[in-house]
């Protein structure tokens, strides 16, 4: 059982992006580049990272480069708390089979790094309109094809079987307009997968930022927290005007947004949540905000675990 101080809280490496300063892919960068980025995270007090494939796709590394990465982690005093696949849907029409292969590769790598969970989902590459928007969620993105849902269920069950054999779990990230885009859809999908090694990543920050009607965050969390086994955790301001139909949202630290995470984290702990927290933030000093959020989570946990 974790204490508030030992609970694994990871920093998502997504803010560094997939390109080095010279524009080359970070996956091809020298280990010294990885080290400089990881050092920034360690200097903020993190002990765990999530090497999202939006930063460094470790499933694509050769054995030699993987050893380099492991050495850098050790040198910087960091461990991997979780591994996330971002916009790598296993039913992407063009890349689904390759994404499935990479997911299996991550499930094989996870135990070596002491990682308990691999996070995936069905979000896909940003559209040109999303790439041009101030915030990508302001433009319409990918919408899952209902006809591919049975294949999605089968492939996630396949990953669950592999994960269970390796002593880890798979988590499905909730994201709008995907098979796990609402609490009802997520729970239905999870029940169809019907595997004990597959749970939900209740990343409802992905939903409260949308400029569209959404259910109350309290109701959404009440529905999905019992299925949570991993958590991308972030918060947003949200405003809506029924008279004009206008919406506004912006990323903020956990304790300032519309979601009351002091209440939600306590609720999760009471329900038996023991998964990794992974701090995410968009805009501004994402790493600095993630560090503030980590400290906030630990304070809430110290109260909740008494």
Segment 267-271 mean pLDDT: 98
The band of 1, judged by pLDDT with boundaries at 50, 70 and 90, is: confident
Q: CA 240: distance to chain centroid?
A: 26
Query: On the CB side of 228, how many CA atoms lie within 13 Å of its CA?
Result: 30
As a whole-number percent, the residues of the chain with pLDDT over 90 amount to: 100
Q: Residue 146 pLDDT > 90, yes or no?
A: yes
Confirm if 102 and 88 have CB atoms less than 8 A apart: yes
Q: CA 254: distance to chain centroid?
A: 15
81-131 residue pLDDT tens: 999 999 999 999 999 999 999 999 999 999 999 999 999 999 999 999 999
175-191 residue pLDDT tens: 999 999 999 999 999 99
Rounded to 5 degrees, φ, ψ at 303 are: -80, -45
Nearest residue to 149 (alpha-carbon basis) of 193, 106, 206: 193
**Cα separation, 191 vs 196, whole angstroms:** 10
Mean pLDDT of the chain: 97
Per-residue HEC secondary structure of the chain comes to CCCCCCCCEEEECHHHCCECCCCCEHHHCCHHHHHHHHHHHHHCCCCEEECCCCCCCHHHCCHHHHHHHHHHHHHHCCEECCEECCCCCCCCCCCHHHHHHHHHHHHHHHHHHCCCEEEECCCCCCCHHHHHCCCHHHCCCCCCCHHHHHHHHHHHHHHHHHHHHCCCEEEEECCCCCCCCCHHHHHHHHHHHCCCCEEEECCCHHHHCCCCCCCCHHHHHHHHHHHECCEEECEEEEEEECCCCEEEEEEECHHHCCCCHHHHHHHHHHCCCCCCEEECCCCCCHHHHHHHHHHHHHHHHHHHCC
Q: What is the pLDDT of residue 208?
A: 98
- Order of strands across the sheet that contains 48-50: 79-80, 48-50, 9-12, 277-279, 231-233
The band of 196, judged by pLDDT with boundaries at 50, 70 and 90, is: very high
Instruction: For domain 9-304, give its CATH number from 3.20.20.150, 3.40.50.720, 3.40.50.1000, 3.40.640.10.
Output: 3.20.20.150
The band of 209, judged by pLDDT with boundaries at 50, 70 and 90, is: very high
What 125-132 contacts at long range (C-beta under 8 Å, 24+ apart), as own/partner pairs, is 125/87, 126/87
């Amino acid at each position: 059982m974790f204490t508030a101080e030992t609970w694994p809280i990871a920093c998502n490496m997504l803010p560094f992006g997939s390109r080095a300063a010279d524009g080359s892919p970070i996956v091809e960068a020298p280990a010294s580049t990885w080290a400089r980025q990881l050092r920034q995270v360690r200097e903020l007090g993190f002990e765990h990272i999530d090497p999202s494939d939006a930063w460094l796709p470790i499933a694509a590394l050769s054995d030699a480069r993987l050893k380099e990465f492991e050495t850098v982690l050790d040198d910087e005093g960091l461990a991997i708390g979780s591994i996330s696949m971002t916009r790598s849907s296993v039913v992407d029409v063009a890349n689904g089979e390759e994404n499935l292969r990479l997911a299996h590769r991550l499930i094989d790598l996870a135990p070596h790094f002491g990682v308990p969970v691999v996070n995936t989902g069905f979000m896909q590459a940003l559209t040109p309109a999303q790439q041009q928007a101030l915030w990508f969620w302001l433009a319409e993105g990918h919408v899952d094809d209902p006809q591919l849902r049975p294949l999605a269920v089968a492939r996630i069950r396949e990953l669950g079987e592999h994960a269970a054999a390796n002593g880890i779990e798979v988590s499905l990230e909730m994201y709008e307009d995907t098979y796990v885009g609402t609490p009802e859809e997520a729970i239905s999908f999870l029940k169809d997968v019907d595997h004990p090694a597959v749970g939900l990543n209740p990343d409802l920050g992905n939903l409260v930022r949308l400029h569209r009607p959404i259910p109350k965050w309290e109701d959404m969390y009440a529905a999905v927290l019992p299925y949570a086994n991993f958590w991308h955790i972030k918060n947003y301001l949200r405003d809506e005007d029924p008279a004009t139909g206008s919406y506004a949202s912006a990323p903020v630290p956990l304790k300032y947004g519309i979601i009351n995470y002091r209440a939600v984290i306590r609720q999760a702990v009471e329900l038996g949540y023991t998964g990794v927290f992974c701090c995410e933030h968009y805009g501004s000093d994402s790493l600095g905000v993630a560090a503030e959020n980590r400290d906030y989570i630990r304070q809430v946990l110290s109260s909740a675990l008494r």
